[in-house]
Amino acid sequence: MSAGPTITSISPSSGTPSGGTKVSIAGSGLSTATDVQFGNVSAKSSLAITSDSLISVVTPGGGVISNVTLTVVTPQGNATWDEGFFYDASITAVSPASGSDRKSVV
C-alpha cells in the first residue's frame, strides 16, 4: 500500500477572495491527486499535475477574507495544511489614480 500524500510548501500562500490565483503545491505522493480544496471549495477543474512532488491549481472564487485549510485529495488519503491559504482583500488598484489637491478653506 502506498503512503498518503504530504504537503511541504504552498506558493503563493495568499490571494484574493474572487479567486484566480495560481498556486503551486509541493510535497510527495501528489501525482494521484483528484482534487484540491480551499476550505470546502473545490479547485478540481484547474488541477494540473506536474510530477509526484508538484501540482498546481487556480484558486476558486467565493472565499471570504480568512485563512482556509488547503486539502489535497488522493485515492491513498488526503494531505492537509491547516490555515495554509489566506484569502486577502488587499487593495490592488485605485481609480482614478490622481485628482485635485485643492483644499477648501472655510
Q: Which long-range contacts (CB under 8 A, 24 or more apart) does 30-34 make?
A: 30/5, 30/54, 30/55, 30/72, 30/74, 31/55, 32/5, 32/74, 32/75, 32/76, 33/5, 33/72, 33/73, 33/74, 34/73, 34/74, 34/75
Does this model's pTM top 0.85? My answer is: no
Q: What is the pLDDT of residues 3-33, one digit of tens each?
A: 899 999 999 999 999 999 999 999 999 999 9
